[in-house]
Every structure is written in structure tokens, then in C-alpha cells.
Amino acid sequence: MQSIISRGDAARAPQKLSHEWYGKEIVPAVEYSFSIEGAYLVFRAAQAAQAQPHPEGKPGEFKEELWKYDTAEFFIADAEGKLYMEFNLSPVGAWWACVFSAPRVTAPEYGVPQGVQTTGSLSAEGWACSARIPLEYLSTLGITPERCRLAATCILNSPDYVFLTSAEDLSGEPDFHRPHSWPAALCH
């Protein structure tokens, strides 16, 4: 298992997404991190580059189709990769989430997570965003930070998209919905 989720004051340096799906280097890289802070899983992402967020996305608000513009994302699944959540986060702090019971098969019975808190900042020098997802909600999905699968992803350069991911399977066309290829994560 990879130790990619820090706990509390055990913060570690951000990890980087430095290559897009087909191997081309992205400069500057996107930095991201996952941590457990109190009762939340916290995801942070940033890049020292301009971004094109969804024009209707508002800080802290739920907004569908964020992925059509520049967005930081993550996918988190139970240890077996059977049930998973996709979480999209705009550079301005708008967000969207959905639970899936199999690749691209939505599980609407889980609803929209409540208690999510997001932030975002966007300037000519770059962007940074964060999301706090209640651990209690993740536990209703059978997901625990101590035993899960987790992938950071980004869609950048809208409308000429580039796809970045920490997933292990980069075969074929870009497809983030491959739970079997997300690294097993372990808190430290």
C-alpha cells in the first residue's frame, strides 16, 4: 500500500501530477495532497498556471459538469474498488460528487454528500483549491482512509483538454473510471 494520506500534524510535502495521460510533461506540475484533519478527508490541489473554471461555478456550491472546464478531481473507493466516489473541484471552489457501484454506473441511493466544505482561489499566477469531505459520509460507502483506493486526477487546458492522473493504468483513451488501477492508500 502507498502511504499517500497524511494524518493531522504528520503533514507531508505535496505530491505532483507532472505528466498527462500520454506521457507529455506538464510544466508546472499540479501539486496535490490528501490528509485526515479531524472528522474530514481533505484534498488540496494547486498549480502555478492559469485555469479556465466553469463560468457558472460559484465558491462552495454544488455544480454539475465541472469537468467540461479545468478541474482538479479525485476518485476514492473501498479497498476492493467496488463502490467509489468521484469528486470534482473547480479552481474557484465549486464542487460536484457522485457515487458509482461499478465503472460509470451511478448509485443514486447514496445521494450528494452533505457537510462538504470547499475553497478556491484563482489569479493570473495560478490556482489553488481544497475540499473537506466528512469521514462519516465516506464510511456510509464502506470507505475508510486506512483501507481504500485513491487517485488524484485533473482535467486542464480547456477546451483542448489534457488529462492527468495518479492511477496506474494509462492504456487506451483517457478514462479515470478504472478503480482497479487506483493505488491502494494507507494513512500515516
The alpha carbon of 177 is separated from its chain's Cα centroid by a whole number of angstroms, namely 12
8 A C-beta contact, residue 149 and residue 77: yes
Over residues 29-75, the pLDDT tens digits come to: 999 999 999 999 999 999 999 999 999 999 999 999 999 999 999 99
Separation of alpha carbons 48 and 82, rounded Å? 35
In a domain, 150, yes or no: yes
Residue 11 has pLDDT above 80, yes or no: no
Residue 3 has pLDDT above 60, yes or no: no
In a domain, 41, yes or no: yes
> For residue 135, what is the enclosing H or E element?
helix 135-140
In a domain, 21, yes or no: yes
* CATH code for the domain of 80: 2.60.40.1190
Over residues 156-177, the pLDDT tens digits come to: 999 999 999 999 999 999 999 9
pTM, entire model:
0.94
Separation of alpha carbons 94 and 56, rounded Å? 9
Q: Which carries the bigger pLDDT value, residue 155 or residue 1?
A: 155
Over residues 74-121, the pLDDT tens digits come to: 999 998 888 999 999 999 999 999 999 999 999 999 999 999 999 999
Query: What was the pLDDT predicted at 119?
Result: 98
In a domain, 84, yes or no: yes
Give the domain extent around 131.
2-169+179-187
In a domain, 174, yes or no: no
